Amino acid sequence: MINFLQLVKNEQMKLFSQRSTWIMITIISVLTIAFGIFMKVDGSMVAGEVPAGPDWKNELREQNAQLTSQKGPEDGIKYSSLTDVRMNEYRIENDIRPTTYNVWKFLHENLNNISILSLFTIIVAGGVVANEFKWGTIKLLLIRPISRSKILLSKFVSVFLFAGIMLVFLYGTAFLIGSILFGMNGFSDPYLYRQGGDIQQAHVFIHTVFQYLISMVNLVMMGTFAFMISTVFRNTSLAIGVPIFLMMGGNSIILFLSDKEWVKYILFANTDLRKFLEGSPMIQDLTISFSITVLIVYFFVFVSLSWYSFTKRDVAST
Amino acid sequence: MSDPILQLKQVKKTIGNKQIIKGLDFEVYEGEVFGFLGPNGAGKTTTIRMLVGLMSLTEGDVVIKGTSIRNNYKKAVQHVGGIVENPELYSFMSGWKNLLHYARMIPGISKERIDEVVKLVGLENRIKEKVGKYSLGMRQRLGIAQALLHKPSILILDEPTNGLDPSGIREIRSYIRRLAREDGVAVIVSSHILSEMEMMCDRIGVIKEGELLSIQSVESALQQPEQRDITLEVQQRERARKILSEWLNRPVKIEKDSLAFKMDRDDVPEMIRRLVDENIDVYSVNMYRSTLEDKFLDLIGERAVD
């Protein structure tokens, strides 16, 4: 076990000795800071607009009247406006006062940065095995009295340890920037979200953490996919390029094939579990348990292919 | 001799339909430098990759210190240190971090041991620098350092002098000799450069097209008191030829303006005395010993036309 921890330590040492890793960290910090400053300066979504005064209930009613009078292109109320209307009604009914913009909302809005994190995870996972082949260092790595399975596992663990570190870093930076720019009030205010037709409320912090975690599902699946290609094809460019392409184009592919019976078995139709919690999934008869089953199957296929390829194949001359 | 440290037993490798290695059998002993010689594409690197577990054996077995790599790879490979082809290390990390990386992979290697090895290969001053800045010679030395970390009983070096300048080659050679002599490490060195092998190795196995053609002991090949090629420049060639062929009881050829024949080195003074007694003036005696290169070319040559 100590041996295994040493291997993971090795992988982390290699990862954090590479300049590209530090570039990724810089990008995440810069993006978070820029996003924070943008939100602060732009202001339209922040303090001013929120009816938080003593007469907030009337203000919300006014807002609703305005929203319902606006007609969408199909002569109906737009979905997003509908959500706002329902939320305002819910606030009035349940006596939940709207809060001004704060660090918790900022954290929640930073959720989208996870797709950048997925991108970085793909880059790391795509390189972790293939680079050793590219650099030729695989030959010195595999002549140690350690089984290949153990080395592979240490690399796999290392990739997601990296993703975890980056997630904490992202969350931490966003928290720091958010609390400086927007203040830490409103921690106990409930967070409202729409699930199907209903408005639900949850604690803002727990809800955000939960959303971050569920967004990680996509990251883990794409990371594992990149890791598999990295191991099987031993080619870094392929292992980074293919998953990124599929991650970007995944939704279009699903949309394009949405009338096919088997579309729900495609990986990308199932990776976004957030859809089950807020809004509705792209494919109609998809359920959360079905999606999770599909994800688990894919995960095992990826891992088995990697394992088989890494432990059974010869390391031949390049 | 004691038990062999490394034993190859009918090792075969087939890739696709092609048999790359056709049954290798040899042994390497403690304190010995074993040369693995063959032209490019003879199967040297494939064999070395099989020895260290990078490639699987199609047939046969490799036994390291009594443990088969088929049955217990981890235990067998514990005794092995190696460089396969070029010493490719992590260029973005310092030499020291590279060594730390490999040290972590085998339990019981202290930081002191790393320092010791660094000193042994003479990299103390540059060890904190990134490997990307190293010269090829320094990288080769770092490669040897990582192979020595766990005090292996057998050191496998694939083309260790590839791409080195003459002084680098001499350095590596002296490391290898010292390791074998002082620490009793068995060393396998592969190369296609003959003169280098002659200077480094105790025994040389010649491989061609996946077959071991012969194993030569370097000392016996070079110092055996066997027949030498002699060319003799004398007056009265025809008379000298007659006298010598009678005395030696073998044919003596006349080539250009000298005589050519084979004889024992020990008999040369006696031959000169006889010629002088017969009043034949001797201008020069040249003696050639057949080098390993000749032997190698003989071995390779006889099968060159397949």
A99 DSSP assignment: P
Instruction: Tell me if residue A100 falls in helix, strand or coil.
Output: coil
Asked if B58 and B12 touch (Cβ cutoff 8 Å), the reply is: yes
Task: Give the pLDDT score at B113.
Answer: 94
Here the tokens at position B228 are 């030498």
Residue contact B105–A2, C-beta within 8 A:
no
Please indicate whether residue A117 or residue A62 has the higher confidence score (pLDDT): A117
**Cβ contacts of A3 on chain B, cutoff 8 Å:** 107
**How many Cα atoms are found within 13 Å in the side-chain-facing hemisphere of A142?**
26
Residue contact B91–A140, C-beta within 8 A:
no
Give the nearest partner residue to A145 out of B54, B87, B106, using CB atoms: B106
Residue contact B91–A10, C-beta within 8 A:
no
Tell me the residue type at A54. Answer: P
Here the tokens at position A279 are 């809004």
Task: Give the pLDDT score at B305.
Answer: 37
Here the tokens at position A153 are 């596992």
A13 touches chain B (CB under 8 A): yes
Calculate the CA B33 to chain-centre distance. Answer: 7
Please indicate whether residue B187 or residue A200 has the higher confidence score (pLDDT): B187
pLDDT at A203 over 60: yes
CA angle B16–A311–A12, rounded 5-degree value = 135
pLDDT at A286 over 50: yes
Domain segments of chain A: what residues?
A: 2-46+100-312, 51-98
d(CA A226, CA A125): 6
d(CA A213, CA A273): 10
pLDDT tens profile A9-23 = 999 999 999 999 999
Residue contact B49–A315, C-beta within 8 A:
yes
d(CA A229, CA A304): 12
Distances (CA, A) of A47 to A40, A52, A229, B268: 9, 9, 47, 110
Chain region(s) in chain B for CATH 3.30.70: 225-290
CATH (residue range B225-290): 3.30.70
d(CA A247, CA A219): 10
Give the contacts of B97 (CB within 8 A, at least 6 positions apart): A13, A17, B90
**Cβ contacts of A143 on chain B, cutoff 8 Å:** 52-54, 77, 80, 82, 84
pLDDT tens profile A118-153 = 999 999 999 999 999 999 999 999 999 999 999 999
B55 touches chain A (CB under 8 A): yes
Distances (CA, A) of A200 to A5, A91, A196: 43, 11, 10
Asked if B34 and B48 touch (Cβ cutoff 8 Å), the reply is: no
Closest residue on chain B to A318 (Cα): B85
**Cβ contacts of A137 on chain B, cutoff 8 Å:** 88-90
B152 touches chain A (CB under 8 A): no
**Cβ contacts of B106 on chain A, cutoff 8 Å:** 144-145
Residue contact B104–A6, C-beta within 8 A:
yes
Residue contact A10–B85, C-beta within 8 A:
no
d(CA A143, CA B81): 8
Closest residue on chain A to B86 (Cα): A136
Task: Give the pLDDT score at A10.
Answer: 96
Give the global pTM: 0.82
Task: Give the pLDDT score at A99.
Answer: 73
Averaged pLDDT of chain A? 84
* Best to test chain A binding among B71, B80, B86, B104 (most A CBs inside 10 Å): B104
Range ranked top by mean pLDDT from A181-190, A191-200, B167-176 = B167-176
Give the contacts of B184 (CB within 8 A, at least 6 positions apart): B30, B31, B153
CA angle B213–B219–B224, rounded 5-degree value = 95
d(CA B19, CA B208): 13
B162 touches chain A (CB under 8 A): no
Task: Give the pLDDT score at A72.
Answer: 56
pLDDT at A313 over 80: yes
Task: Give the pLDDT score at A297.
Answer: 96
Residue contact B90–A316, C-beta within 8 A:
no
**Cβ contacts of B57 on chain A, cutoff 8 Å:** none
CA distance B80 to chain A (A): 8
Asked if A303 and B37 touch (Cβ cutoff 8 Å), the reply is: no
**Cβ contacts of B53 on chain A, cutoff 8 Å:** 142-143
Task: Give the pLDDT score at B220.
Answer: 58
d(CA B43, CA B131): 30
* Best to test chain B binding among A19, A144, A234 (most B CBs inside 10 Å): A144
Asked if A15 and A162 touch (Cβ cutoff 8 Å), the reply is: yes
What are B236's strand-pairing partners?
none
Task: Give the pLDDT score at A256.
Answer: 86
Q: List, as ranges, residues 33-52 from B with C-beta within 8 Å of A.
A: 45-46, 49, 52
Q: Which CATH number fits domain B6-222: 3.10.20.30, 1.20.120.160, 3.40.50.300, 1.10.10.10?
A: 3.40.50.300
A10 touches chain B (CB under 8 A): yes
Kindly give the confidence (pLDDT) of every residue in chain B, 306 residues in length, as a single tens digit, with 9 standing for 90 and above.
Answer: 578 899 999 999 998 888 989 989 999 999 999 998 888 888 888 999 999 999 999 999 999 999 999 999 999 999 999 988 888 899 999 999 999 999 999 988 999 999 999 998 889 999 999 999 998 888 988 998 999 999 999 999 988 877 778 887 888 888 888 889 988 999 999 887 777 888 888 898 988 888 888 888 876 555 555 667 788 888 888 888 888 888 888 888 888 788 888 888 788 888 888 888 888 888 888 887 666 666 666 666 654 433
Sheet of strand B6-15, all strands in order from the earlier edge strand to the far edge: B18-28, B6-15, B59-64, B67-68
In chain B, where does DSSP find H-type helix? 44-51, 73-77, 95-103, 111-120, 136-148, 166-183, 194-200, 218-223, 237-248, 268-277, 292-301
Chain region(s) in chain B for CATH 3.40.50.300: 6-222
Here the tokens at position B196 are 């280098």
pLDDT tens profile A227-261 = 999 999 999 999 999 999 988 888 888 888 888 88
A221 DSSP assignment: H
Residue contact A144–B77, C-beta within 8 A:
yes
CA angle B301–B302–B306, rounded 5-degree value = 95
